[in-house]
């Protein structure tokens, strides 16, 4: 007789828990993929016979480094300017070069560009704040139409020696960052 009550109790518990779980999931409202995407940009260049082009500038690849105009040699992690834009060499493969569109090593000018993509379903005004080591350096505003994106390019004169972190934070709470080093010339 005790076994019968145990079976009834188990059956009732199973039905109760199942109903609770089903009702809980029916109450959850899943968003309709409305979000904002924030990211730093990268550039991928084709490596054709150890030569790549960044715009009209020729980059020659030799011994795990690149040279620009046959002069200076840059290794992965080094930063360089091309057409008033700063890049950091990330990786060289047999088929391509990967460049970050921001400064990892600098002697004063910290360059970066980032993109805001609006997937909120409506036009939106974004405000952003740029920090270095937690200190506010600059702020800005951008209006972006629904399902469009905008790339923002910035350069900051920053001469404090050592390792630093630059972060960009949106009014949505989204935040991205990269680390850089200030070096003397």
Q: 69 φ, ψ to 5°?
A: 65, 20
Residue 30: the pLDDT is 47
Pairing relationship of beta strands 162-170 and 175-182 according to DSSP bridges: antiparallel
- Res. 44 pLDDT band, cuts 50 70 90: very high
Q: What percent of the chain has pLDDT over 90?
A: 52
Q: Is the pLDDT of residue 19 over 70?
A: no
Distance CA 9, CA 11 (A): 6
* pLDDT above 80 (res 63): yes
Average pLDDT, the chain: 85
């Amino acid at each position: 007789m005790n076994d019968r009550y145990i079976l009834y109790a188990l059956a009732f518990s199973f039905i109760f828990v199942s109903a609770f779980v089903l009702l809980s999931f029916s109450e959850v409202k899943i968003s309709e993929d409305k979000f904002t995407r924030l990211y730093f940009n990268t550039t991928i260049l084709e490596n054709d016979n150890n030569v790549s082009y960044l715009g009209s500038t020729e980059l020659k690849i030799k011994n795990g480094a690149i040279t620009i105009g046959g002069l200076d040699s840059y290794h992965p992690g080094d930063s360089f300017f091309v057409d008033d834009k700063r890049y950091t060499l990330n990786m060289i493969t047999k088929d391509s070069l990967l460049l970050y569109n921001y400064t990892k090593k600098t002697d004063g000018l910290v360059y970066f560009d980032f993109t805001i993509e609006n997937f909120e379903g409506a036009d939106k005004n974004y405000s952003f704040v740029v920090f270095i080591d937690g200190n506010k350096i600059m702020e800005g505003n951008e209006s972006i139409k629904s399902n469009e994106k905008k790339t923002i390019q910035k350069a900051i004169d920053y001469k404090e020696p050592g390792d630093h972190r630059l972060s960009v934070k949106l009014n949505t709470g989204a935040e991205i960052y990269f680390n850089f080093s200030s070096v003397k010339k």
